[in-house]
Amino acid sequence: MGINISTEEVAVFEGFGAKQVQDQDATLLSAGIKPEDQDVNIRSFLNINGATAALIRIIATLVHAKTKEQTEALCKAEYMSSLFKDKNEIKHLQEQIVTMTNQYIETEKLAKHKIDELSNKLQEAITDRNTLKNAYGEKKAEILLRETGYYESKAHYLDPDESDYASSIKMTAMMKVWRNR
């Protein structure tokens, strides 16, 4: 990363080194450059006149300003690149969230549908059981329910490992047999 200073930027200093010290001082003052404490340090260290020390300071300041400007431009470009990358990453994450949300909503709908379906079957089984109780009385209905393998307690199932769903299917089959009598 080089620093380029054009001759137009320092045109006021053209031929500066060939001028007499009084003319160099006049050039610096006409450019609005006033002597500073740093000029004394530079002059002593390099063993040069004060006007040349001021010129070195001014050029060093110009190089510093250019370097700072280029560094800030580079940092801004890197920052913008990072923002663009982050924006794309955020967009990708948003798309994933939307996809996952849609999958969740679909799964929830399927689960609600299955719950409704099972609730309806349970309600049918309860209705059928109550119908049997009303038709045959409590005791006979209980005996019939035990014979068909349907009962509210697992202890009364013919197969203890049988699910409630399988038991409700048996109950539905038993009710169909009973209705066809």
pLDDT in tens, 89-98: 999 999 999 9
User: Residue 145: pLDDT above 80?
Assistant: no
User: Residue 14: pLDDT above 50?
Assistant: yes
List, as own/partner pairs, every contact residues 51-58 make where C-beta atoms lie below 8 angstroms and the sequence separation is at least 24, other chains included: 51/21, 51/24, 51/25, 51/27, 52/17, 52/24, 54/28, 55/13, 55/16, 55/24, 55/28, 58/28, 58/33
- pLDDT confidence band for 77 (50 / 70 / 90): very high
Chain-wide mean pLDDT for the chain? Answer: 83
- Residue 126 in tokens: 């309860």
User: Residue 72: pLDDT above 90?
Assistant: yes
Distance CA 123, CA 23 (A): 110
Q: What is the pLDDT of residue 94?
A: 96
Q: What is the pLDDT of residue 11?
A: 85
Calculate the CA 10 to chain-centre distance.
50
